[in-house]
């Protein structure tokens, strides 16, 4: 194996040994992460991420603008200033699967200034944020740069903040209070400062110092506040039990946010100290910096260094946690010759310009995709960052990755590597210059017929490969045009295969996929069984085929039908199938092929999973080596559990739909459909429309 040979190279071995000696103490040093800023000027500007209307000015962090440009520029502003490096705030303990939460102390001095004779607004917060993103649009006014009217209170916000609020909202106790905000601005606990003689924004300009102590063992927070220069008070103004690990991401960003509304104030931080207990690092992230530093000192060439670093990381991991399943899996992954490799987080961070918004290629069910260029080469990549905190599923994920890793097919997006550090998961794919299928189907000029046909053929081929050719059967689970990428020659490349299962072992994927956009690709039986199968993949494939031919989305409202498939079925019944073809093609397509595709799409959309063609048959139909599938004139009713034995096939085949009564008769047929509800499920299913929105757990 190549890797072994490299390891045996004398200089690599020597370097490795040297590094081991230098690095070892780093694994045992339990320190704190500390920051101290006694004042702020441009020389410390690079230590922060400034977002929204925030900046540094006059020796202070200005979370909202200073008055230098006139009052109207002070109204309805919001800003955030955060430490750009994420800090690990909690962790799982391997031995007993409990969480360890970091303690922290912070002290900062604020100056909330208002003009004499004006009413202050709105407030400032100390913030634990999931990322260094911009404050959301509309986060001015009562939202304190934290949330906005649509996001407020949503659990997926993943923030905890201590607010210093100077404007009374209907849910607030007064216009001068401290509050604990969890994922929303309607504080869970508040304390008025007025009885303590403290006014956040007094007429006489005053600096206040705030101390926030968090005890990660007892999961309790204390907030103290006093005029600058005073001793830390004995009594806290607010204290609360809170396990921050229930809300914030494992690695979060600390800092401040603030907003103004129609009333305004200056929201300044003029000094800040922070100490966070350093949790033991299991990702090797910290030691990497040391490794690189030493290696450069030793004067190794970059190539040797990179290789050595990786060997070392694996080596140390082996040493530290022999028998640890995750490490075994990592080892297995790293040991596969010619397969995707493990990337360092820093490498990917650099390659995507710190996950720059402007490089965002898209947003999927599980996370965002960024375009990047790998350092050291000019190779363009797509880096997928998973937004969900997946600490529990790590091992499952790695197990699944070993499968995904081995999949190689000309119609799959090649996976180049992955990175899993400090709870952040990234996958690196080859960059697809022509984007995804939906961009072409629904934007721009559409695609010419032969390209559409070729794309369907490619997807069919990929589906056949993952379903049947590969020895460990893989189910895609989320087949849709936004997951079908187009390479330089417009050949289809299936992306995200196996991910849904990899990321969700506890069946939540179903509800998660049930978001608008994916609806329409989910077969009816999935709603009942909560299981994705090859047949449900075929159903989604059928939807994609219809979309590609018709150029319309699956949830397409036309002449009383909610689903594209029902409309196409009706045209089929009426012998007008070709009317479904995308009018943008201007009639430029072989009618025979179009009919073949539409019938294939309908056959795959059969409500009964067993009636849908298998991937093998699909490939033959697409390659024209098998005739188009037979499709009943009426869409069969959805029956669950599925009837045993041969299916009732198109009992209306002889009825050529006398015009005028067709719609009515089809409705009657469908609502007469046999329907039995499976144990524990209450279902109300409009069979004709098959509208999956109506299927829900009661």
Numbered residues of the known binding site for ATP: 384
Q: How far is the CB of 437 from ligand NAG (least distance, A)?
A: 24
At residue 161, the 3 state secondary structure works out as strand
Applying CB under 6 A, among 137, 560, 583, 641 the residue interacting with ligand NAG is: 137
Give 106's strand partners.
Answer: 212, 274
Q: How many DSSP H helices and E strands does the chain contain?
A: 17, 26
**Rounded (10°) angle between helices 591-604 and 564-573:** 120
What number of other Cβ atoms are within 10 A of residue 633's Cβ?
20
Taking CB under 6 A as the rule, does residue 627 contact ligand NAG?
A: no
Stretch 103-132 residues interacting with ligand NAG (CB under 6 A): 103, 105, 107-109, 111, 116-117
User: Does the annotation count 478 as an active-site position?
Assistant: yes
At residue 463, the 3 state secondary structure works out as helix
Stretch 240-259 residues interacting with ligand NAG (CB under 6 A): 242
Is the bond preceding 122 in cis, omega lying within 30 degrees of 0?
A: yes
Q: How far is the CB of 530 from ligand NAG (least distance, A)?
A: 19
Q: Give CA–CA dist 631/570, Å, rounded.
A: 12
Closest CA relative to residue 166, chosen from 208, 124, 104, 204: 124
Contacts for 122 with CB less than 8 Å, ≥ 6 apart:
140, 141, 142, 144, 165, 166, 167, 258, 259, 260, 261, 263, 265
Total residues contacting ligand NAG (rule CB under 6 A)?
54
Stretch 201-240 residues interacting with ligand NAG (CB under 6 A): 203-207, 209, 235-236, 239
Taking CB under 6 A as the rule, does residue 156 contact ligand NAG?
A: yes
Taking CB under 6 A as the rule, does residue 41 contact ligand NAG?
A: yes
Q: Which is nearer to ligand NAG, 111 or 518 (CB)?
A: 111
Sketch the per residue contact string, 430 through 449, with ligand NAG: x for CB under 6 A, - otherwise: --------------------
Containing 239, the helix (H) or strand (E) segment is strand 238-241
Taking CB under 6 A as the rule, does residue 262 contact ligand NAG?
A: yes
Residue reference for tokens 């080859």: 430
Closest CA relative to residue 528, chosen from 604, 674, 612, 638: 638
Taking CB under 6 A as the rule, does residue 637 contact ligand NAG?
A: no
Q: How far is the CB of 459 from ligand NAG (least distance, A)?
A: 27
Q: How far is the CB of 85 from ligand NAG (least distance, A)?
A: 18
Q: How far is the CB of 118 from ligand NAG (least distance, A)?
A: 10
Q: E-strand spans in 171-250?
A: 177-182, 189-192, 207-215, 220-227, 238-241
What number of other Cβ atoms are within 10 A of residue 436's Cβ?
21
At residue 73, the 3 state secondary structure works out as helix
At residue 282, the 3 state secondary structure works out as coil
Taking CB under 6 A as the rule, does residue 351 contact ligand NAG?
A: no
Sketch the per residue contact string, 452 through 491, with ligand NAG: x for CB under 6 A, - otherwise: ----------------------------------------
- Could you tell me which stretch among 21-29, 61-69, 93-101, 341-349 binds ligand NAG (CB under 6 A)? 93-101
Q: Is 422 exposed, middle or buried (0-12, 13-18, 19+ CB in 10 A)?
A: buried
Q: How far is the CB of 142 from ligand NAG (least distance, A)?
A: 9
Distances from the Cα of 677 to the Cαs of 645, 647, 671, in angstroms?
20, 19, 15
Q: How far is the CB of 224 from ligand NAG (least distance, A)?
A: 9
Taking CB under 6 A as the rule, does residue 76 contact ligand NAG?
A: yes
Taking CB under 6 A as the rule, does residue 149 contact ligand NAG?
A: yes
Q: Which is nearer to ligand NAG, 11 or 230 (CB)?
A: 230
Q: How far is the CB of 690 from ligand NAG (least distance, A)?
A: 23
Taking CB under 6 A as the rule, does residue 46 contact ligand NAG?
A: no
Applying CB under 6 A, among 86, 120, 123, 136 the residue interacting with ligand NAG is: 136
Contacts for 327 with CB less than 8 Å, ≥ 6 apart:
317, 318, 321
Q: How many CA atoms lie within 13 A of 212 on its CB side?
A: 27
Is the bond preceding 641 in cis, omega lying within 30 degrees of 0?
A: yes
Taking CB under 6 A as the rule, does residue 169 contact ligand NAG?
A: no
Applying CB under 6 A, among 52, 79, 86, 184 the residue interacting with ligand NAG is: 184
Q: How many CA atoms lie within 13 A of 186 on its CB side?
A: 7
DSSP 412: B
Q: Within 363-492, where are the H helices?
A: 394-406, 437-442, 449-464
Q: Which is nearer to ligand NAG, 60 or 618 (CB)?
A: 60
Active-site hit among 53, 181, 478, 566: 478
- Could you tell me which stretch among 136-144, 168-176, 291-299, 358-366 binds ligand NAG (CB under 6 A)? 136-144
Applying CB under 6 A, among 11, 188, 623, 651 the residue interacting with ligand NAG is: 188
Q: Which residues are catalytic?
A: 478
**Binding positions for ligand NAG, rule: CB under 6 A:** 31-32, 36, 38-39, 41-43, 59, 75-76, 93, 95-96, 98, 103, 105, 107-109, 111, 116-117, 136-138, 141, 148-151, 153-154, 156, 182, 184, 186, 188, 203-207, 209, 235-236, 239, 242, 262, 270-271, 273, 275, 277
């Amino acid at each position: 194996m190549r890797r072994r040979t490299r390891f045996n190279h004398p200089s690599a071995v020597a370097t490795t040994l040297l590094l081991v000696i230098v690095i070892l103490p780093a694994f045992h040093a339990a320190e704190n992460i500390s920051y101290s800023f006694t004042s702020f000027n441009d020389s410390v500007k690079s230590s922060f991420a400034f977002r929204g209307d925030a900046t540094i000015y006059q020796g202070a962090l200005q979370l909202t603008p200073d008055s230098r440009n006139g009052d109207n520029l002070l109204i309805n502003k919001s800003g955030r200033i955060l430490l750009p490096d994420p800090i690990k705030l909690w962790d799982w303990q391997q031995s007993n699967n409990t969480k360890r939460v970091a303690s922290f102390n912070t002290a900062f001095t604020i100056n909330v200034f208002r003009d004499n004779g004006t009413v202050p607004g709105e407030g400032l917060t100390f913030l634990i944020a999931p990322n260094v993103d911009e404050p959301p649009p509309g986060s001015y006014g009562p939202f304190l740069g934290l949330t906005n009217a649509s996001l407020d209170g949503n659990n997926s916000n993943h923030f905890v903040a201590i607010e210093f609020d100077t404007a009374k909202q209907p849910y607030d106790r007064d216009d001068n209070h401290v509050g604990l905000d969890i994922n929303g601005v309607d504080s869970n606990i508040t304390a008025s400062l007025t009885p303590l003689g403290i006014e956040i924004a007094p007429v006489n300009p005053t600096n206040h110092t705030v101390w926030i102590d968090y005890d990660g063992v007892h999961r309790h927070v204390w907030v103290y506040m006093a005029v600058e220069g005073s001793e830390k008070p004995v009594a806290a103004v607010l204290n609360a039990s809170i396990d921050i690990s229930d809300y914030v991401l494992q690695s979060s960003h600390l800092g401040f946010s603030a907003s103004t509304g129609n009333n305004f104030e200056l929201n300044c931080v003029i000094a800040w100290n922070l100490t966070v207990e350093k949790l033991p690092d299991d990702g090797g992230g910290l030691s990497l910096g040391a490794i690189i530093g030493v290696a450069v000192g030793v004067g190794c060439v970059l190539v040797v260094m990179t290789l050595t670093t990786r060997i070392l990381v694996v080596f140390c991991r082996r040493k530290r946690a022999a028998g640890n399943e995750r490490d075994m899996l990592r080892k297995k992954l790293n040991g596969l010759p010619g397969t995707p490799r493990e990337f360092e987080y820093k490498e990917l961070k650099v390659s995507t310009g710190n996950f720059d918004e402007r490089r965002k290629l898209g947003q999927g069910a599980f996370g965002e995709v960024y375009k990047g260029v790998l350092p050291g080469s000019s190779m363009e990549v797509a880096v997928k960052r998973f937004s969900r905190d997946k600490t529990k599923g790590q091992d499952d994920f790695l197990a699944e990755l070993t499968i995904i890793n081995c999949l190689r097919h000309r119609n799959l997006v090649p996976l180049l590597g992955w990175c899993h550090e400090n709870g952040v998961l990234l996958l690196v794919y080859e960059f697809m210059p022509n984007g995804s299928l939906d961009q072409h189907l629904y934007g721009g000029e559409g695609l010419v017929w032969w390209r559409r046909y070729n794309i369907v053929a490619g997807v069919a081929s990929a589906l056949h490969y993952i379903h049947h050719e590969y020895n460990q059967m893989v189910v895609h689970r989320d087949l849709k045009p936004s997951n079908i990428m187009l390479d330089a020659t417009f050949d289809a490349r299936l992306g995200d295969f196996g991910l849904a299962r990899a990321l969700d072992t506890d069946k939540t994927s179903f509800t998660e996929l049930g978001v608008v956009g994916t609806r329409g690709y989910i077969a009816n039986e999935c709603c009942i069984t909560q299981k994705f199968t090859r047949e449900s993949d075929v159903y989604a494939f059928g939807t994609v085929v219809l979309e590609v031919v018709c150029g319309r989305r699956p949830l397409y409202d036309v002449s009383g039908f909610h689903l594209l498939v029902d409309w196409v079925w009706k045209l089929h019944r009426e012998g007008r199938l070709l009317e479904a073809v995308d009018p943008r093609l201007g009639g430029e397509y072989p009618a025979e092929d179009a009919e073949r595709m539409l019938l294939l799409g309908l056959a795959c959309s059969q409500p009964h999973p067993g009636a849908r063609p298998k991937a093998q048959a699909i490939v033959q139909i697409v390659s024209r080596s098998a005739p188009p599938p037979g499709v009943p004139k009426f869409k069969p009713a959805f029956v669950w559990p599925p009837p045993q034995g041969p299916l009732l096939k198109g009992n209306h085949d002889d009825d050529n739909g006398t015009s005028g009564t067709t719609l009515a008769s089809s409705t009657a047929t469908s609502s007469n459909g046999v329907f039995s509800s499976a144990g524990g499920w209450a279902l109300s299913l409009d069979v004709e429309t098959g509208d999956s929105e109506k299927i829900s757990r009661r």
